[in-house]
Amino acid sequence: MQQLHALGKLIRVQTKLYLREPVAVFFTLLFAPLYLIMNWLIAGNQPLAELGGRGSLEAYLPACAAIVIAVVGLMPGAIETANRREAGVLRRFRATPLRPLTYIIGDVGVYLAMILLGILFVMLLAYFAFGVRSVGNVPSMFAAILLSATSFLAVGYVLASVLPNARAVTVVGNVLLFPMIAFSGATVPLEIMPETVRTIAKFVPLTHVITLLRGAWFGEPWSALLTEVAVLVGLLVVGTVVSALTFRWE
Amino acid sequence: MTSSDPFVVQVSELRKQYPDVTAVNGVSFDIGAGEIFGMVGPNGAGKTTTIECIEGLRQPDAGRVRVLGLDPQADGYALRERIGIQFQTSDLPARIKVGEALDLFASFYRRSVDWRPLLDRMGLGDRANAYLAKLSGGQRQRVFIALALINDPELVFLDELTTGLDPQSRRSMWELVRDVRERGKTVFLTTHYMEEAERLCDRVAIMDHGKIVALDTPERLIAQLNAENRVVLQAERSFDEATLRRLPAVVRVERIGERVIVYGPKEGLLSGVINALEAGEIPFRDLRTEQPNLEDVFLALTGKEMRD
């Protein structure tokens, strides 16, 4: 009971702290909409015959969701955790009866909520500003978002655990994040990319996130998405095990 | 803790070895209920390791530690409900407000006190909505003390409480510590300032090279040193030092330019020196006496100056 009470407070306070950081707010709420707007400026929202008459901008929305997952899942939590370890914040938590698991669940819960908030925001923008009306298969989409987001958060925790400090997390995080966005089809559809890029893309986790989200969005059966699910579950399991083994409070 | 067990902390033969150094090498002591117990020692003496073993944050290699009757390793969570810790180097999450921090930490404990009156007691009643980062060093330190008291603990650890504070903040921090004790709590503090240990602590343990080299009340530690008092003065003209040296109360005389330092036991030193100067018609000014203090004890026992 006490731990549940603590968890509720942790999530409330951590959410406030997150939203007080302008850079975090930018990456959560505005980064993916920038891509959406760029896409709209380039291609508009043409109905596409191969998508059953749905607009090209609507087809791009799952990629926007994937961008939110990548930018919020991978770095902010990892940087904050490394910062807190360096500054002795985690040590202060450790000196109380707060259980480590409660703290970590709270942390993951906050970042998941922020990812959902960011995705909701870009969808609302698409709805109100660009007239995208279809919302896809909501339960499938939700499940796909949860799986992708927890996988990326697990990788973020690995960065926070194995790297020595917040600076290193920032550098490695950026080195992973931006090429990953470029090579995943999150910006330009992979179909029009050269063969080499498409080969590289197969090894980029974000590509699988986009494929999974797009499949869920357009109501493909999960049986058609087993590769993506396997890759992301694998990432989640390996990430969780590695960070559990290497996590340090101090 | 039961009434049959008067000790809040019991440590015997505590040992902790790191790969390249023995940090704590057989330390034993007890702390009684309601005591302000101080631990001083040069950097690397093993104070922090000792205190962390008692708090349950570090596992000893050998020895027995009991805190409030609990084993800090086996009963860590039960113990943390009943102790409060203020760390030397530790911070709170960025962008947090004072009231949020207290409210958050209160939620971690089964039993906690209302944080608003606690903040009032710390003189921060009007800062609940302030960002922690905007507070002065002294105010931040008060917030950290408030956090250490949020669960109404029986035992409070204060690590280097006043390091980096100006003298005025330091003195008001001492008042807070005395107030904590008045409320029936036991205080375990470490400090770099000998004056602080001397003024504040009921008993002081001096640690060096992983061992306790002395443990007693400040008064007795000073008395045991058998150190000489000093009379320091400025002589306005040169004179024969033998005038002073042959006095029965004087052990030795040092002279650097105009400055004369006369060493001797407490009894008869001051009156002897003044009478001799008067009799010899030697003009002098700025005369003062210096008693031995904990700093001298520390220097004698560890061979190191505590001051940074």
pLDDT of residue A53: 74
pLDDT of residue B3: 46
The domain total for chain B is: 2
**Spatial CA neighbour of B26 closest among B55, B5, B53:** B53
B93 touching A (Cβ < 8 Å):
yes
B89 touching A (Cβ < 8 Å):
yes
**Which residues of chain A lie closer than 8 angstroms to B70, CB-CB?**
none
Q: Is A240 exposed, middle or buried (0-12, 13-18, 19+ CB in 10 A)?
A: middle
**Spatial CA neighbour of B11 closest among B30, B25, B24:** B30
Give pairs for A218-227: CB < 8 Å, separation 24+.
A218/A51, A218/A136, A218/A137, A219/A136, A219/A137, A219/A140, A222/A140
Nearest CA in chain A to B101: A13
CA distance A96 to A107: 17
Q: Are residues B67 and B179 in the same domain?
A: yes
Higher pLDDT among residues A192 and A233, named by residue: A233
Single-letter code of the amino acid located at A81: T
Share above pLDDT 70 across residues of chain A, in percent, rounded to a whole number: 99
Question: B1 lies in a domain?
Answer: no
Q: Are residues B136 and B161 in the same domain?
A: yes
**Which residues of chain A lie closer than 8 angstroms to B110, CB-CB?**
2, 97
Reported as a single tens digit per residue, the pLDDT across B221-247 is: 988 887 788 899 998 888 888 888 888
Reported as a single tens digit per residue, the pLDDT across B181-194 is: 999 999 999 988 88
Domain with residue B260: its CATH number is 3.30.70.980
A101 touching B (Cβ < 8 Å):
no
Average pLDDT rounded to a whole number, residues A193-221:
90
**Which residues of chain B lie closer than 8 angstroms to A21, CB-CB?**
94-95
Cβ-based contacts under 8 A for chains A and B: 69
Which range is least confidently modeled, B170-174, B224-228, B304-308?
Answer: B304-308
Question: B49 lies in a domain?
Answer: yes
CA distance A162 to B112: 36
B130 touching A (Cβ < 8 Å):
no
**Which residues of chain B lie closer than 8 angstroms to A87, CB-CB?**
90-91
Q: Are residues B65 and B89 in the same domain?
A: yes
**Spatial CA neighbour of A9 closest among B222, B101, B285, B62:** B101
Question: B299 lies in a domain?
Answer: no
Question: B307 lies in a domain?
Answer: no
Average pLDDT rounded to a whole number, residues B297-307:
76
pLDDT of residue B165: 83
Prediction pTM value: 0.85
Helix (H) or strand (E) holding A96: none
**Which residues of chain B lie closer than 8 angstroms to A10, CB-CB?**
104, 107
pLDDT of residue B268: 84
Q: Are residues B81 and B101 in the same domain?
A: yes
Q: Is B30 exposed, middle or buried (0-12, 13-18, 19+ CB in 10 A)?
A: middle
Q: Are residues B219 and B268 in the same domain?
A: no
CA distance A147 to A222: 13
Q: Are residues B173 and B202 in the same domain?
A: yes
Reported as a single tens digit per residue, the pLDDT across A122-156 is: 999 999 998 887 767 889 999 999 999 999 999 99
pLDDT band at B125 (very low <50, low <70, confident <90, very high): very high
CA count, 13 A, side-chain hemisphere, B170: 16
Structure tokens at A239: 């990430």
CA distance A9 to chain B (A): 6
pLDDT of residue A54: 77
**Spatial CA neighbour of A118 closest among A188, A237, A29:** A29
Q: Are residues B201 and B97 in the same domain?
A: yes
Reported as a single tens digit per residue, the pLDDT across B261-293 is: 999 888 888 999 999 999 988 899 899 998 888
pLDDT of residue B2: 47
> Does residue A103 surpass a pLDDT of 50?
yes
ipTM value: 0.87
Q: Are residues B116 and B183 in the same domain?
A: yes
CA distance B107 to B256: 62
Residue A71: which region, alpha, beta or left (left: phi > 0; alpha: psi -120 to 50)? alpha
Average pLDDT rounded to a whole number, residues A198-203:
88
Which range is least confidently modeled, A21-35, B145-159, B256-270?
Answer: B256-270
Residue B261: which region, alpha, beta or left (left: phi > 0; alpha: psi -120 to 50)? beta
pLDDT of residue B308: 43
**Spatial CA neighbour of A238 closest among A144, A142, A146, A162:** A162
Nearest CA in chain A to B89: A88
Domain that holds residue B280: 228-291
Domain boundaries, chain A: 2-246
Q: Are residues B195 and B70 in the same domain?
A: yes
Q: Are residues B100 and B240 in the same domain?
A: no
pLDDT of residue B305: 66
Q: Are residues B214 and B250 in the same domain?
A: no
Render B234-277 in DSSP notation, one character per residue.
EESS---THHHHTSTT--EEEEETTEEEEEE-STTHHHHHHHHH
Cβ pair A10:B104 closer than 8 A: yes
**Spatial CA neighbour of B43 closest among B166, B210, B174, B198:** B210
Whole-number mean pLDDT of chain A? Answer: 91
Question: B257 lies in a domain?
Answer: yes
Higher pLDDT among residues A67 and B307, named by residue: A67
pLDDT of residue B150: 97
Question: B296 lies in a domain?
Answer: no
pLDDT of residue A59: 85
pLDDT band at B306 (very low <50, low <70, confident <90, very high): low
A100 touching B (Cβ < 8 Å):
no
Structure tokens at A160: 């926070």
pLDDT of residue B246: 87
Domain with residue B155: its CATH number is 3.40.50.300
Reported as a single tens digit per residue, the pLDDT across A234-248 is: 999 999 999 888 888
Which range is least confidently modeled, A92-96, A133-137, B104-108?
Answer: A133-137
Average pLDDT rounded to a whole number, residues A57-85:
93
Nearest CA in chain B to A86: B90
Q: Are residues B154 and B26 in the same domain?
A: yes
pLDDT band at B5 (very low <50, low <70, confident <90, very high): low
Reported as a single tens digit per residue, the pLDDT across B38-52 is: 999 888 889 999 999
Render chain B in DSSP notation, one character per residue.
--TT--EEEEEEEEEEEETTEEEEEEEEEEEETT-EEEEE--TTSSHHHHHHHHHTSS--SEEEEEETTB-TTTTHHHHHTTEEEE-SS----TT-BHHHHHHHHHTTSSS---HHHHHHHTT-TT-TTSBGGGS-HHHHHHHHHHHHHTT--SEEEEESTTTT--HHHHHHHHHHHHHHHHTT-EEEEE-S-HHHHHHH-SEEEEEETTEEEEEE-HHHHHHHHTPPEEEEEEESS---THHHHTSTT--EEEEETTEEEEEE-STTHHHHHHHHHHHTT--EEEEEEE---HHHHHHHHHSS----
**Which residues of chain A lie closer than 8 angstroms to B55, CB-CB?**
95
Whole-number mean pLDDT of chain B? Answer: 90
